[in-house]
Structure 1
Amino acid sequence: MDTHLLSHLLLHKPINYSSSLLSHPLLKNGHFKSAAVLVPIVKRETGYHLILTQRAPHLRHHPSQISFPGGKVEPDDLSLIHTAIRETNEEIGINPAHIKPLVKLNTIPTISGYKVTPIVALIDENYTTAIDYGEVSSTFEAPINHLINPKNTYNHHVFNKKHTYNLIFIPFDKKLIWGVTAEIIHAMNYITA
């Protein structure tokens, strides 16, 4: 089943982000900064896993939130793929030689003013990390089959600044994945059918 998912990722980009999130009034001004995140997949004996980070608790934006490694595009970046790989190396120290980009997923706008492009990549199973604790407090792996299983996904309506929208939550090992990270993972679920 995991090989099936990986094959489909290469052939079919997920397109289904939450329509209520995409229609948020803050997204209508159209002024976004570009960003990219790496969706790092590593093969283990039990199947494919995603590598996720927990943001540092002292950060001003999204402290302690579970996320993919990534960040805003810098002027010297050659492409969105370059941004995602550079940010992954800076945040959690994975050697770029251990990262094999596979596919760009559809860009998702965020209410914080970014258009985020997820880059799915296969990570060498012998990768090591060197965490920048100024940005990330820890990394962990989670099985893709658990994360995309609809039984492990919860939807909640959230009211924020006169707008109600749907948020996706994915609990895993006493952690709660939500926001754009959960949207990207949830969108991957649609390609397995």
Structure 2
Amino acid sequence: MDRYLLTQLLLNKPNSYSDALLQHPRFENDNFKPAAVLVPLVKRPSGLHLILTQRAPHLRHHPSQISFPGGKVEPSDLSLIHTAIRETNEEIGIQPSQIKPLVKLNTIPTISGYKVTPIVAIIDENYTTAIDYGEVSGTFEAPLTHLLNPINTTKHKVFNKKHTYELIFIPFEKKLIWGITAEIIHSMNYIST
């Protein structure tokens, strides 16, 4: 299944993630800041695992949320892939030589004014971390089979003025993955079936 999933990721990029969000008037203009996140997969004896981070609790935006490593594009970045790799190295210390990009997924607009491009990559199984505690409180791995299992996914509708948004929640151990991170993970279900 893991080999099949990787093949599907390379051959079938998802079409869209946030249709309801795109209909919001805020997204009619294109004043978004570009950003990229790494969707880091690591091969383990039990199968593929995702490496996730927990944001630092003192951050102004999204404190303590589970996320992928990444951030906004800097003028010196050569590409969105470069942004995702640079940010991963800065936040959690994985060396660029241990990151093998596979595919760039569709860009997702966020309510905070960013257009986030997920970059799926394979990480060397012997990677080590060096956490920047100014941004991240820690990292953990979660089995992809757990994260993609529909039994472990809950959807809730949220009403905001004239618009309805469907939020995805994926519990794992004592953590709750939601927001754009859960949306990216959930989108991988459509390309793994």
Gapped runs of 5+ residues in structure 1?
A: none
Could you tell me whether the CA contact under 8 Å between 1:148 and 1:185 is conserved in 2? yes
TM (norm. structure 1) is 0.96
Structure 2 counterpart of 1:50, which letter? L
Which residue number in structure 1 is paired with residue 190 of structure 2?
190
Residues 98-109 of structure 1: pairs in structure 2 closer than 5 A:
98-109=98-109
CA distance in 1, matches of 2:81, 2:187: 20
Structure 2: distance between partners of 1:124 and 1:49? 12
Which has the higher mean CA deviation after the structures are superposed, 25-34 or 149-158? 25-34
Separation in 2, partners of 1:20, 1:79 = 28
CA contact (8 A) 1:24 1:111 kept: no
Aligned residues: 193
> Residue in 1 aligned with 2:155?
155
1:6-46 superposed Cα distances (whole Å, 9 cap, x missing partner): 11111111224142233233222321000000000000000
**Contact preservation (8 Å) 1:21, 1:166:** no
Query: 1:57-108 CA deviation, whole Å, 9 max, x = no partner?
Result: 0000000000000000000000000000000000000010000001100100
TM-score under structure 2 length normalisation: 0.96
Corresponding residue number in structure 2 for 1:33:
33
Q: Distance in 2 between matches of 1:57 and 1:81?
A: 27
Corresponding residue SS for 1:191: helix
Structure 1 contact 9–191 (Cα < 8 Å) conserved:
yes
Partner of 2:74 in structure 1? 74
* Structure 2 CA distance for aligned equivalents of residues 29 and 13 of structure 1: 25
- Offset of residue 4 of structure 1: 1.1
Matched, 1:58 2:58: yes
Alignment of 1:111 with 2:111, yes or no, is yes
1:161 & 1:98 partners in 2: Cα distance?
45
AA aligned opposite 1:167: L
Superposition CA RMSD, Å? 1.1
User: What is the match of residue 4 of structure 1?
Assistant: 4
* Structure 2 residue ranges without an equivalent (≥5): none
Distance 1:28 1:147 in 2: 32
Aligned to 1:13: 13
1:44 maps to a residue whose letter is: R
Query: How far 1:174 sits from its partner (Å)?
Result: 1.1
1:15 and 1:187 in contact (8 A); partners too: no
Give me the identity figure in percent. 80
3-state SS of 1:58 partner: coil
Aligned position for 2:49: 49
Question: Contact 1:24 / 1:165 at 8 angstroms: preserved in 2?
Answer: no
**CA-to-aligned-CA distance 1:143-186 (integer Å, 9 cap, x gap):** 11111111111110112354321101111111111111111111
Structure 2 partner of 1:86 = 86
Question: Match of 1:173?
Answer: 173
